[in-house]
Amino acid sequence: MKKIVVVFIAIAMSFSVKSQDVIKQKEVGISFRDLNNFGMFFKTGTSQSLWRFGAMSTSGNFQKSEYDSTEVNQNSFGLRLTAGKEFRQPVTDALSLVLGMDASGSVSVSKTDDDDVSVDNLDYNAKFKTYGVALNFILGVNYQLNEKFSLQGEIQPSVSYQMSQIERTFFNGNVEDSETTGFYYQLSNSSATLSLVYRF
């Protein structure tokens, strides 16, 4: 794993070494992943090398449903913060290859309440919390629409560590707690991100 990171950084650095006509700039924009998650970002640096910082909502909903005599309330929230570096290598006047790396931290919380309204105190609720940190590799393209706006598409293979906690409370007062931890890697296109970028 360490060798892969070193090679990836070396390739990314070679982008900046080969770059020409470097221009200082800043960028802001909005990003979308899986058509469900969205976020905002800020970048600062040059036309070929930028520091990047972002925040993305990874989940969020409030839902109430009823069936038979049971009411179910569900709500969730998730947030992901990132910081890293990207390098761009021009291919044409409008198109650039993007390579880089960032680190991220995430947290998600969800809660489910089941209430059987036909029977007093026949309730159940569950709380789920997940915390994670990840190292994300950035592979993408940037297409300049005009002088100020561009589109950037990325995939982000990643290696992450997550800890999940679950607390279940039953109608009789019993409480069950559980915790799981693990390392994960992601290589699928579910990590694809599309961004609308404004440069200034």
pLDDT of 1 > 90? The answer is: no
User: What are the structure tokens assigned to 85, written together?
Assistant: 């570096």
Of 100, 128, 110, 107, nearest to 193 by C-alpha is 100
| Helix or strand (DSSP H, E) at 44 | strand 37-46
CATH of 2-193, one of 2.60.120, 2.60.40, 2.40.160, 1.10.3470: 2.40.160
Q: Are 197 and 151 in contact (CB under 8 A)?
A: yes
Range ranked top by mean pLDDT from 3-7, 112-116, 129-133? 129-133
pLDDT at 60: 78
pLDDT band at 15 (very low <50, low <70, confident <90, very high): low
pLDDT at 19: 46
